[in-house]
Structure 1
């Protein structure tokens, strides 16, 4: 049992997904903003974005009401059906592509854990057995047409060792009774995890960098937090 990823009991028509994808391939895909995690092979196409903007694929706005369908979604009959089948509030929805031979380096995202009220779901549209996907250093294969939850708070990485672009429909959902029942009914067990530094994204590997960034900010709150993390790190070294 793991809380890093979980397969949900949902499947979608892969041929209709691919048909919509073919119609959108020539649109203006946006290079992913996290350039620390890739070298240009990672891009996305917004289906639901802040104010419905087609040139904005970032997910930073926390108000779900700001997210609206884009022109790309309105042009995609089956993608509309897929999103409408989720009986919960959908915040962001994007097609995300990783080019053949490219990689997404190990990184974490924030506030995307089922237990925290927002779940990130993946529906692969185009993938391959040679795509290596690891979440919290655990390998997992998401097959075409399936629906998977991933705890994006954990470190994750992807290497596309195939000769085809990997494309996923990625949906961020607000957890409600319907989604909770879907998770529990498919065997997901809520796990209470105590993170050493208070969140999954800070580990012994990067805590020194986090401390330096906080000290650079220099505010009273940032310095208090830096001292807190340093105390935890030093205590663990002494044990």
Structure 2
């Protein structure tokens, strides 16, 4: 198991980052919110504020990290105002999910917590570029204190226990970037980490593979799924004896969408060979459609590192 965090290459221009941050701080940012399997949750109780630069549907008011849901991530209007930050994001060779400026207020101490499955074992990474800091601003990650400096580029395994605290008199502001783990992203890590990416428990994500409308429509199906399949934060095996519910896979005009009872909808991303991950999440769980032949079927998969759990269910073709 590698270290809890590591500095990446290269460094960025701290002065330009600070100037662009200043240009979008004319209003008070909203409190950070959590995102759970039920959707957007409560605001944090401490002074921890965010400005969304990428969010589900490009909603500039979303301060949560997002996740599987009806909309994929997109740029917000705030990103148009900060071209150097866009350059930083364009440099990262991996699909981007949530991107936020996150400001931890002075004299603020967060609680110890973990971010479930935000680590390479599940194909997700969280990157930090500090913009404003002070000697009292500390990240305690897996028991190790970190004081990252402006312009530096860092990866942290936030699936481990961590806490942020700022005992200084000024806010600490980081650019926080959630990404999918890819071989290109691994190349930004130092040489000491390359063996881990070659041989360790890492889940690499495939790039999106666009489909035509006709290709999507022929895959419209209905099939049973374990009621826990969409709960991406959980670890229930696909083989577990849990109730099943009926899922419907259909084209919504732009992409495939998985619909579950109770008006729950999840946009999907095509990975090739009729296999999909949830938009807003990694290949930690996918579904693959085999529509042809007398017995159409769907294969559900969950992954952790190199381990794959599969469940095949019978599907019913729906009219195109």
- Which bin holds the TM-score, normalised by the shorter protein? 0.7 to 0.9
CA distance, structure 2, for counterparts of residue 64 and residue 84 of structure 1: 25
Give the structure 1 partner of residue 17 of structure 2: 17
- 1:199 is matched with none
Distance in 1, Cα, partners of 2:127 & 2:79: 17
**In the aligned structure 1, how far is the partner of 2:74 from the partner of 2:148?**
27
Q: CA 1:184 to 1:117, structure 2 compared with 1: closer, same or farther past 3 Å?
A: farther
Take 1:188 and 1:155, find their aligned partners in 2: how far apart are those partners?
24
**Cα deviation per residue 1:211-236 (whole Å; 9 max; x = unaligned)?**
xxxxxxxxx759xxxxxxxxxxxxxx
Residues 164 and 188 from structure 1, CA distance in 2 versus in 1: closer, same or farther, beyond 3 angstroms?
farther
Alignment partner for residue 168 of structure 1, among 135, 159, 174? 174
1:51-66 equivalences in 2 (<5 Å): 51-62=57-68, 66=72
Taking the TM superposition and a 5 Å limit, the aligned residue runs for 1:211-230 are: 221=242
Q: Distance in 2 between matches of 1:118 and 1:124?
A: 20
Distance 1:186 1:76 in 2: 34
Tell me the secondary structure at the aligned position of residue 153 of structure 2: strand
**Which sits farther off after the overlay, 14-23 or 1-10?**
1-10
Gaps of 5+ in 1: 194-219, 223-239
Among 74, 85, 97, the alignment partner of 2:80 is: 74
Q: Which moved more, 1:45-54 or 1:23-32?
A: 23-32
| 2:31 alignment counterpart | 31
- Counterpart of 1:140? 146
The separation in 1 between residues aligned to 2:122 and 2:79, in whole angstroms, is 28
Match of 2:187 in 1: 181
TM alignment of 1:67-216, pairs within 5 A: 67-183=73-189, 185=191, 187=193, 190=196
Distance 1:182 1:33, change over 3 A: same
Distance 1:87 1:2 in 2: 21
Distance change (3 Å), C-alpha of 1:170 and 1:64: farther
Check whether the contact 1:92–1:172 (CA below 8 A) recurs between aligned residues: yes
Q: Partner of 1:7 in structure 2?
A: 7
Runs of 4+ deviating beyond 6 Å? none
Q: Which has the higher contact order (CA 8 A, sep 6+)?
A: 1
Gaps in structure 2 of 5+ consecutive residues: 35-40, 203-240, 244-320
Shift of 1:3: 3.0
Q: TM-score, normalised by structure 2?
A: 0.56
